[in-house]
Every structure is written in C-alpha cells, then in structure tokens.
Amino acid sequence: MKKQQTRILLDIEEMPRNYVNILPYLREPLSPPINPATEEPISPEALEAIFVKECVRQEMVSDKRVPIPDEIREGLIRYGRPTPLQRAIGLEKALKTPARIYYKREDVSPTGSHKLNTALAQAYYAQKEGIERLASETGAGQWGSAVSLSCAHFDIEAMIYMVRISYQQKPYRSTLMKSYGAKVVPSPSDLTDFGRKMTAENPDHPGSLGISISEALEDTLANDNTKYTLGSVLNHVLLHQSIIGQEVMMQLESVDETPDVIIGCVGGGSNFAGIAIPFLSDEKFKDVEYIAAEPTACPTLTKGEYVYDFGDTAGITPKVKMFSLGADFIPPKIHAGGLRYHGVAPIISALKNEGRITPKSYEQTEVLGAGILFARTEGIIPAPESAHAIQAAVESALEAKRDQEERVIVFNLSGHGHFDMEAYGALMDGQLGTVPKLEGLALEQPQTVSAKVGGE
C-alpha cells in the first residue's frame, strides 16, 4: 500500500549539494558552438567576451557532478528551496483517472518560477569575478524578475530588455523588476542599433525573444564590466536547473513511488531539463516517458529542423546545433511569452535526436483551459507556459483512464500565472475560441464561466 501524502517536503539539509551534468550521459558528444564566419568551434576565450567565465567553463565541463557553492545554496534556501512536490488529488478526482499525478512547485519562488535557480548562480559567479552589471532579455517577465532579484541579492546592476508584447500584456512584471532595482525597457528599444532598426522597419513591432537577446548582447559588448546572462538554452543553465529533478527523485522515493511519465513545458528547455536530467542520467529510469510540451504556435521540437543556427535574430551569437524554426522566425503573439523562442537547448535537441524524449505540441485554448481546470481543482493559477505541461499531464491521465492503468505522472509546475490574468480573462471572455471538451470531466468547461457571471 502506497503512503498517501499530498504535500511532500524535504529538509533544508536535503537541498542538493551538486548539479547533475547530463553531458557525460549523452550517447554522442554534443556538437560544439561554432563561429559563423569560420564554421570552426568557438574558443572559450571568445565566449568570455559575453559570458561570465565560470559559466563558460561549465558549458564544457565533463564531470558528472558539479559542486554548488555555499553562497548559491544559501540564496536558494532563503528564497524557498527545497520546493514541495504535491499530489494533484483534486485534478485526479476531476479526471476520474487511476493515474497518480504529482507536480513540482517551482511556482513558490518569490519571483514566481524556476528561473531563480540559475539566475542566482549566474549572479553569484558574476559578482565573484568582479562584474558590476548584467544585461539580459525577458519574454514573459519571469526570467527578468529572477535576474533582477538575483542582482539585488549579489549587489549588481540589472539591465533588462523585455519583449514589447509582453511588456504591454504584463505591466506589473516590469514594476516587479523595477522594485528589485532593475532598469527595464520594452524591446525593440531605442537603446541599441538593432532595436532602432527593428522599430524603423515596423513601428508596432511586437518583439521576440530573438530580438531582445540581440539587444542585450549589443548592450553587453558596448558597456564596460557588463556580462550577458541567459535564462535558458545553454548547457550551464540546464545544469543549474538539475536541482529540481534531484529533489523530485528524493521526494518520490520518500513516498515509495517510481515515475512512469515526466513532463515539462519547453521554451528554451531549462525547466524540462531541470526535472528530467537527473532521471535521464540514471539507468534505473530509462523506461520513463519524458514528454516535452510546446505550443503549436512555436513548434520547435515537433516541426523544427536539426541545424546549426543563431541563438538570436541579429546573428550576434555563435551558431549552435539545435532544433530551430529559423533565427528570423517571429512566433505568433501567444500568451505563453516564455515559449516564443525559435530554437531549443542543444542538450534537449540531442536528447530528441537520440529518441530519449517525446515532444508534443498543444493549442493555446486547450492549454489555458487546462490552466483553469488546474486552478479550480488545485487552487493554483499556473503560468501559461506551465499550463502546457498540465495539458500533457491531463492527456496522459486520460489515456491511463482509458487503459485502466495505474500510472505515475510527474510534471514541473514551472511558474505561477499571477501576472497572466489578461490571458485567462481573454479565454473566459471567449476571445481566444472554444476550449475543447475533455471526456468525462466532472467540472464545467471554462468558457461557460463568463456566460454564468454575466447572464443568469
């Protein structure tokens, strides 16, 4: 008989002391980043012009474990780690599924998502190297908030280029970043040559992550003692996120559970990697189904090509081998701003190429519908990005119901949606179309809510 527990906690001392590095566990060595001009692998020295040195070292590190400095552990603990793993009892009941569903609470960090895990690490390494200013981009605002708090924590200046459409959709995100002391501008901005060029071409440019990255890079190269910090895609970012999966592994063990399915949403790939890497690095979990959930509006893993491509739109970054929709692809203005990225992490791309992960794509309406279902059954309004993982978990739980199969499903709740009310409001007002019906659902469909409030 399994121990039934709704909220599985760890002691502070159990917070991981090492990062898990997936590189030695890949079947083939990862293709290196290349200089677009020469097509030769790029040197660490060239990368150090942009990135903090320790992050560049961690990009290529071959050790299976990388120690976490005490200063980073203390920061992570101060801001809420280890995070709970929660059993989705309410969701299970509503779906009438025999599956047991667990979710990892990355939404409980003060900035609202998993992004703080790597932002704190990168800010710490920057401070240690005497860097005084970090520049970065943000889509949904989760990454920018994490950078802003981490810079405040380690006494560094933060400069954030926020994708214009998200800046407009989520004004309170920029207020939060500014509260932490960061400078925030909508991108394309008038602070960089590339931003001015984009605005001249299209005065109403919605922006994209690729453009904001180009602006932050141009800023980094133009300003003294400034480095660029990236919230996803790169190996060192995925490495820092591996604390998530290590905690999940201990938490599942403590209630005598073994996962059958592990799910994360995928923008650049860091939260999915964070939950999956420790399991993917352990033979014991080779039969787990690893589902990478992405939007149909930006179907990088399901429809992209595996090529060398730029990480940004202007072509400033080295080229990396990844699934990509093309560096000039501007995704439609979906509400999951953090998933509007043309590429995906080289590590995730290699795992897909090795057939070790299963990408699935979902429509915005079904995803936000799953978000509302989650709010009603679990009480948490998820980030639209995280709602992709919820939709994948719902789908898997309904499959288990059809097959009358006990299945343990674990997904990463990468963030909360407290700043995403415009998305959920638009859904419930019927502006985004009809939410597809879920078979045998014990709850009303979200689109009926506004009719009830306004009408009866």
Ligand X SMILES: Cc1ncc(COP(=O)(O)O)c(C=O)c1O
Among 293, 383, 392, 393, binds ligand X (CB under 6 A): 383
Residue in 62, 64, 66 with CA at minimum distance from that of residue 29:
62
Give least dist CB 264 to ligand X, A. Answer: 7
DSSP code for 435: P
Q: Least distance to ligand X from the beta carbon of 344, Å? A: 8
User: What is the pattern of x (binds ligand X, CB under 6 A) and - over residues 32-61?
Assistant: ------------------------------
Rounded distance between C-alpha atoms, residue 115 and residue 97, angstroms? 32
Interaction pattern, residues 395-424, with ligand X; x per rule: CB under 6 A: -------------------xx---------
Pick 127 or 414: Cβ nearer ligand X: 414
CB of 383 to ligand X, least distance (A): 4
Nearest distance, CB of residue 336 and ligand X, angstroms: 8
Is 338 an interacting residue with respect to ligand X (CB under 6 A)? Answer: yes
Residue of 270, 317, 361, 447 that binds ligand X (CB under 6 A): 270
Burial class (CB within 10 angstroms; exposed 0-12, middle 13-18, buried 19+) of 262: buried
Among 267, 304, 343, 371, binds ligand X (CB under 6 A): 267
Residue 226 binds to ligand X (criterion: CB under 6 A): no
- Cβ–Cβ under 8 Å, residues 362 and 388: yes
List of E strands, 165-235: 183-187, 226-228
Min separation Cβ 276 and ligand X, Å:
11
Q: Can residue 210 be called a binding residue for ligand X (CB under 6 A)?
A: no
Nearest distance, CB of residue 373 and ligand X, angstroms: 18
**Closest CB to ligand X among residues 159, 387:** 387
Question: Least distance (Å) from ligand X to the CB of residue 237?
Answer: 7
- Minimum distance between the CB of residue 322 and ligand X, rounded to whole angstroms? 13
- Give min distance, CB of 225 to ligand X, in A: 27
Is 179 strand, coil or helix?
helix
DSSP 28-42: SPPPPPB-TTT-SBP
**Among candidate residues 235, 246, 239, the one with its CA nearest the CA of residue 285:** 246
Instruction: Give the C-alpha separation, 238 to 59, whole Å.
Output: 10
Q: Which is nearer to ligand X, 219 or 420 (CB)?
A: 420
Binding residue (CB under 6 A) for ligand X from 309, 385, 395, 420: 385
For 273-325, the DSSP string reads HHHHHHHHTSGGGTTSEEEEEEETTS-HHHH-EEEEEESSSSS-SPEEEEEES
Please say whether the beta carbons of 51 and 228 come within 8 A: yes
3-class DSSP state for residue 270?
Answer: helix
Q: Do the beta carbons of residue 143 and residue 160 sit within 8 Å?
A: no
Provide the β-strand partners of residue 322: 307
Residue 166 or 189 with smaller CB distance to ligand X: 166
R_g of the chain computed on alpha carbons: 21
Per-residue string for binding with ligand X, 124-163, x by CB under 6 A?
---------------xx-xx--------------------
Q: Is 232 in the site for ligand X (CB under 6 A)?
A: yes
Residue nearest ligand X by beta-carbon distance? 338
- By CB under 6 A, which span of 16-24, 247-255, 261-269, 397-405 interacts with ligand X? 261-269
The amino acid at 326: G
Q: How far apart are CA 66 and CA 276, in angstroms?
A: 17
166 interacts with ligand X by CB under 6 A: no
271 binds ligand X (CB under 6 A): yes
Burial tier of 386 (Cβ tally within 10 Å: 0-12, 13-18, 19+): buried
Cα 432 from Cα 361, distance rounded (Å): 18
Q: Is 208 in the site for ligand X (CB under 6 A)?
A: no
Which residue, 16 or 343, has its beta carbon nearer to ligand X? 343
Chain positions contacting ligand X, by CB under 6 A: 113, 139-140, 142-143, 232, 265-272, 338-339, 383, 385-386, 414-415
